[in-house]
Every structure is written in C-alpha cells, then in structure tokens.
C-alpha cells in the first residue's frame, strides 16, 4: 500500500512540475491566438480595409434545371361532346436539366462590396408530363429543344475576407430564349444566390455557387403553337436553378 501511495505522489509531483513549465508556453500560445483572431475580426469589419485583390475572373461548369412548370393545358378531345373524364388529359410542360457554362468578372468597389457581370448558356430542353384528371396514368417524356443564354449584372458582398470566402449575389438579368421551331425571345429577369471561394494557391481559388434565375418565357411556343389560343398563358414565369463549380483568379 505504501508503495502505491508513494507512486501516486510521484505521478502527482511530476504533473505539477510539468504544468509549471508548460503554463507560460500555453499562455503565450493562447495570447498569440487571441491576437491573431482579433486581427482577423478587425480586418474584415473595418470599412477602410483595402483588399489585396480588386478583380476576380472565374469560369464554371454545372447544371441548369427548371424548378416549376411553365405551362399546362387540356387538349380538345376528338368528340367535343364527350364527357368521359378518362378521355381528358392534362399536359404539363417543365424545363428539363442540362449542362451550364458560365463566365464572370467581378470588381471590388469598396470594402467587401463589389459588382459582378456574368454570361451563361445552357440547353436543358423541355419535358412534357401527361396525366388524367384523377392524376393517374402519369407519363413523362422529352418534348422539344429549349436553350437559353443570360447576361447579368449583380451586386456581390463577401461575408468574410479569408481563405474560405462565402458571398452573396443578386441583380438584374437578361435572358435570350430559343424555343422549338426556331423561335426566340429576349426577356428580363433577376438572378439571386451565393457561393464560396476557397483559396487553393496564391491568388487561385476554387469557386462553387448555387443561384436561381427568375425570368419570363413564352410558354405557348414550347408546345409548338398548341397553346396559341390561350393568350393568358404567354409569358409564364420560370425559376431555373443554376449551380456551377469552377476556378477563379484574383488580381
């Protein structure tokens, strides 16, 4: 028992001596970490802070897909007097998904606020879903070609200024839509969302973002003229989800 107690006292004494010598080093390390954190906190919140880079150019590849239907109708049956609900079909048009290519140029105007211009292009196509009035017999298939390009001018705010930089964007966009049968239109809209810049080496960053593009499209043209009689269906609003992953260069 005495040997066990003696061993315990030796261990406790050893720990006490270790702590005595380690405490000043820990205190110095802790203080340096606090100073570093305070400098990081003060730097991005100071409006007079000058960022090392003013311009940001990036290129990305991703996906564009529709988030809501752009038109639906009930075709006229062969017998106008038919009352059988099974003969009536609801046809709904949705934007499919396709590869998105985009390029951006951003300029930091003041503090963490800047302006960003972007051009993108995608050809997602159109899907048509046919159901009866009871919602049964669902059938979805490709319907036709649809592609669009857009140009946007957005405000950009970097939430922090660090190796990992989250940001928010939002602004005005013009969409250039191309429908089946060679028809096209130009419509205004707006772009909103955000993303992350992650520094890889020096001024080279990996950029990932997720945005929504809200714009009007000419829904009747998507159905090759079938909806021409329904003028109210023109100019249906569409929200398309855009995500991209690419490389950004700051200078």
- In this model, does residue 102 exceed pLDDT 80? yes
Q: Which domain holds residue 4?
A: 1-45
pLDDT at position 13 is 53
State whether 10 and 35 are in the same domain: yes
Mapped onto helix, strand or coil, the DSSP state of residue 247 is strand
pLDDT at residue 72 in the model: 76
In this prediction, residue 222 carries a pLDDT of 60
Please give the Cα distance from 106 to 129 (Å, whole number): 40
Residue 152: what are its φ and ψ, rounded to 5°? -130, 150
Tell whether 216 and 144 lie within a shared domain: yes
User: 175: pLDDT confidence band, cut at 50, 70 and 90?
Assistant: very high
- The domain that holds 203 is classified in CATH as 2.40.160.20
Same domain, 65 and 156: yes
Residue 166 has pLDDT above 70, yes or no: yes
Nearest to 123 by CA among 70, 63, 185: 63
Q: Give the percent of the chain with pLDDT over 70.
A: 65
Question: Residue 18: helix, strand or coil by DSSP?
Answer: helix
Q: To which H or E segment does residue 6 belong?
A: helix 2-45
Give me the pLDDT at residue 183, please.
Answer: 76
The long-range contacts involving 72-77, CB below 8 angstroms and separated by at least 24 positions, are 73/223, 73/226, 73/227, 73/230, 73/233, 75/226
Q: How confident is the model at residue 25 (pLDDT cuts 50, 70, 90)?
A: very low
Residues 6+ apart with CB under 8 A from 98: 63, 64, 65, 122, 123, 124, 125, 147
Banded model confidence at residue 30, pLDDT cuts 50, 70, 90: very low
pTM score = 0.74
In a domain, residue 113? The reply is yes
Model confidence at 36, pLDDT cuts 50, 70, 90, reads very low
Residue 50 within any structural domain of the chain: no
Could you tell me how far CA 165 lies from the centroid of its own chain?
15
Residue 19 covered by a domain? yes
Highest mean predicted confidence (pLDDT) among 38-52, 102-116, 234-248: 102-116
Please check whether residue 149 is in contact with residue 121, taking contact to mean a CB–CB distance below 8 angstroms. yes
Q: Do the Cβ atoms of 155 and 172 come closer than 8 Å?
A: no
Number of domains in the chain: 2
Indicate if 139 and 232 belong to the same structural domain: yes
Residues 4 and 115 in one domain: no
| 1 has pLDDT over 60 | no
Mean pLDDT across the chain, nearest whole number?
77
72 and 109 in a common domain:
yes
* Residue 9: predicted pLDDT: 56
Whether residues 77 and 29 fall in one domain: no
Q: Which residue has the higher pLDDT, 212 or 79?
A: 212
Whether residue 85 is found in the same domain as residue 167: yes
| Same-domain check for residues 87 and 182 | yes
Question: Is 64 found in the same domain as 19?
Answer: no
């Amino acid at each position: 028992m005495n040997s066990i107690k003696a061993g315990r006292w030796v261990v406790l004494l050893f720990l006490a001596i270790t702590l005595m010598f380690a405490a000043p080093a820990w205190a110095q390390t802790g203080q340096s970490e606090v100073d570093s954190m305070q400098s990081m906190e003060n730097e991005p919140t100071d409006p007079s802070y000058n960022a090392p880079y003013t311009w940001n150019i990036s290129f990305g590849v991703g996906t564009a897909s529709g988030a809501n239907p752009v038109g639906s109708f009930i075709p006229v049956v062969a017998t106008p007097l038919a009352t059988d609900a099974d003969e009536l079909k609801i046809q709904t048009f949705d934007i499919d998904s396709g590869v998105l290519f985009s390029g951006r140029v951003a300029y930091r105007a003041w503090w963490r606020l800047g302006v960003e211009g972007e051009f993108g292009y995608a050809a997602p196509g159109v899907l048509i879903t046919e159901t009866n009035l009871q919602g049964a017999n669902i059938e979805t298939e490709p319907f036709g070609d649809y592609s669009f390009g857009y140009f946007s001018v957005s405000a950009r705010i970097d939430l922090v200024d660090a190796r990992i930089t989250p940001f928010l964007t939002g602004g005005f966009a013009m969409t250039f839509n191309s429908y089946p049968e060679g028809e096209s239109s130009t419509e205004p809209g707006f772009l909103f969302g955000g993303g992350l810049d992650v520094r890889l080496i020096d001024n080279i960053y990996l950029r990932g973002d997720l945005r929504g593009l809200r714009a009007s499209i000419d829904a009747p043209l998507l159905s090759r003229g079938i909806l021409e009689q329904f003028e109210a269906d023109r100019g249906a609003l569409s929200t398309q989800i855009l995500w991209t992953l690419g490389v950004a260069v700051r200078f």
